[in-house]
Structure 1
Amino acid sequence: MRRITIGLCLLLLLGSPLSAGVKSTLIKGAAKGIDAFSTNTSHAVEIGGETVRVGGRSLSNLKKTFGTYDFSILPYSERVELYNDAKLSIAWPAFRNLTVGFGKGSELQGDTAGEWFGIISDGVSIAATGVGITLLLFDFIFIFPGHAALGEEYWFGSSDKLLTAALTTTFAGAGAFALGRVIQAILPLSYGSRYNKTLREGLGLGKKMEDTFIFEVGAAPTMERGVLLAARVAF
C-alpha cells in the first residue's frame, strides 16, 4: 500500500510537468501550422504565354503587377480561384501581433513596415520597463535601508529621486508596451483589407465576387452604336 501511495505521488508530481510540456508542444505545433497556412505566398498564373506570380509580396508590388499585366483575359473561374488562394488572412495575424508581438503577424502578411513597427515598439517598451524595474531593485536593495533607518517617507513623490525615476520609467514602459500591442493588432486589419481589396479589383471581381470585367467590355459596343446612330442622323 505504501509503495502504491508513493507511486501515485510520483505520477502526480511528474505528470503535471509532462502534461504541461505536451500541451505546450501541441500549442506551438498548432500555431506553426496556422502560421504556415496564413503566410502570404505567391501563386503562378499564365498570361499571354508568360508566367506571372501574384501574391507573396508587398501591396505596392501587387499594384505594380496589376498595372503591368492584363488579367481580364483569364477566365472568371480562374480569377475567383486565384483570389481565394492569394488573399491575405487577417484575423490570425492580428491575434499573433496582439499576443506574440514583435510584428510576427505583420510578417505573415508580408507587411514590412508593420513588422518593423512591432519589433521597435516592443523592443523599446520592454527595454524601458526593464530599466525601470532594475532601478527599483537597486533602490530597494541599496537606498531603502538608509531611508528606513532614518524614518523617512519612502514612496512615489518622496525625496528619493531615484525611486521617482524608476517608477515613472516602469509605468511609461508598461503603458507604451500595452499601447503598442493594441496598434499592432490593428495593423493587420488595415493592411489585409487594403491588400485584399486591391487583389479583388485587380482581378476584376466585385464585392459580391461578380465579374466586373464583363460590364467594362460590354459598355464599349453600346457606346459605339450610339456614336454611329448619331452620325447617321446628322447626315
Structure 2
Amino acid sequence: MKRFVVLIILPVLLTSTLFAVGELLFDVAIVGLDIMVTAGKGPVTVTLDEEKGPITIGGTGIKPLRRTFEEYDFSTLGYEERLRIYDRLSVPVVWPIVKNITIGFGNGSVLQYDSMGALTGAVLDGASAITLSVGLGIFIGLISVHPDTFSDHLPLFSVGVDLMVAGMIGLGVSRIVQAIIPAVYGLRYNKILREGLGLEKDRSDALRPALGFAPLPTSDGRLQWQVAARVPLQ
C-alpha cells in the first residue's frame, strides 16, 4: 500500500514542479519581451517656444496626444529631432496583439497607453472566466457530491454544461476582440503621431533638395566655385 501511495505522490509532485518551473520561465519570458519592446520608449520633453518653456509629450492616450499637436507646432523642429521623437513615442503593435491573445485581460493594450482597450479586455475575460468557473463548479459538484443520484439533477447538470460552453465561447470571442483592439489602436496612434510631427509614412521626406557652394582654390592662385546639389529621386 505504501508503495502504491509513493508511486502516486511522486508523479504528482514531479508534474507540479514541472508546471511551476514552466510558469516561472513563461513569466520571465513575458517580462523580457515587455522590456525589449518598450526599451527606449517614454515621454519626451522638448522646447518649441522659449517664452512658453519646455513641454512634455507622450506616455498618454490618443486624445491628449492629439490635443498636444493642436496646441503646438512641431514642424519648427529639425527632421532628425522629429524622427527621434517619433521613434521614442510610437507604440508597438505586434507584441500587444500577441500578449492580448495569449495572456488576455487587456495586458497588451496597456503597452499602448490604451486604458479603454485594457478595461475592455479585462471585463470580457473576467466575465467569461467567471461564467466558465461557475459552470465547472456545478459540474464537479454534481459529479462528486451526488454520484448515485446524478440522474435526478440533469437540469442542473445541463445548466453547468451550458455555462461552461458559454464561458469558453466568451473567452474565444474575447481574445479575437483583444487581437483587433491593439491593431486598430496602435496604427491609429502612430498615424496621429506621425502626422503631428510632419513625417511621411515612407520617410520620403528624409532627403530634401539642397544646393551648396564652396570656394575651391586652383594651383595658379585663382579661386573657383564648387557647386554641390542633392536631389531626391523619389
Q: Same fold (TM over 0.5)?
A: yes
Normalised by the length of structure 2, the TM-score is 0.73
**Closer/same/farther in 2, CA of residues 54 and 37 from structure 1, 3 Å limit:** farther
Q: TM-score scaled to structure 1, two decimals?
A: 0.73
Confirm or deny: 8 A CA contact 1:204 1:211 kept in the other structure.
no
Count of aligned positions: 192
Q: Greater helix share, 1 or 2?
A: 1
Contact 1:89 1:192 in 2 (8 A): yes
Task: Please state how far the C-alpha of 1:59 moved relative to its aligned partner.
Answer: 0.4
Distance 1:209 1:73 in 2: 18
Aligned match of 1:35: 34
Q: 3-state DSSP class of the match of 1:102?
A: coil
2:46 match: 45
Runs of 4+ in 1 over 2 A off after TM superposition: 16-21, 23-31, 36-41, 141-144
Q: Which has the higher contact order (CA 8 A, sep 6+)?
A: 1
CA distance 1:86–1:127, change in 2 (3 Å)? same
Could you list the per-position Cα deviations for residues 121-166 of structure 1 after superposition, in whole angstroms to 9, with x for gaps in the alignment?
Answer: 1111101000001111122233441246xxx8xxxxxx82101111
**8 Å Cα contact 2:142/2:150 also seen in 1:** no
Alignment of 1:113-124 (within 5 A): 113-124=116-127
Contact 2:135 2:163 in 1 (8 A): yes
Cα distance, 1:48 vs structure 2: 1.0
Q: Do structure 1's residue 195 and structure 2's residue 189 form an aligned pair?
A: yes
> Structure 2 unaligned runs (5+)?
1-12, 209-234
Which stretches in structure 1 are left out of the alignment for 5+ residues? 1-12, 153-158, 215-235
Structure 2 distance, partners of 1:88, 1:41, is 10
**Percentage identity across paired residues of the two chains:** 35
1:171 aligns with 2:165: yes
1:86 aligns with 2:89: yes
- Give the Cα–Cα distance (whole angstroms) in 1 for the partners of residues 197 and 173 of structure 2: 37
Alpha-carbon offset, residue 19 of structure 1: 11
Specify the alignment match of 2:70 in structure 1: 67
> Is structure 2 residue 133 aligned with structure 1 residue 134?
no
Instruction: Name the counterpart of 1:156.
Output: none
Task: State the 1:178 CA deviation.
Answer: 1.3
- Cα distance change of structure 1 residues 61 and 181 upon mapping to structure 2, 3 Å threshold: same
Could you tell me whether the CA contact under 8 Å between 2:100 and 2:106 is conserved in 1? yes
Question: By percentage of residues, which structure has more strand?
Answer: 2
Matched, 1:77 2:80: yes
1:206 — aligned with what? 200
1 CA distance for matches of 2:119 and 2:87? 28
Give the CA RMSD over aligned residues: 2.8
- 53 and 34 in structure 1: CA distance in 2 versus 1, 3 angstrom threshold: farther
> 1:38: Cα distance to partner?
3.4
Q: Could you say what secondary structure the match of 2:104 adopts? A: coil
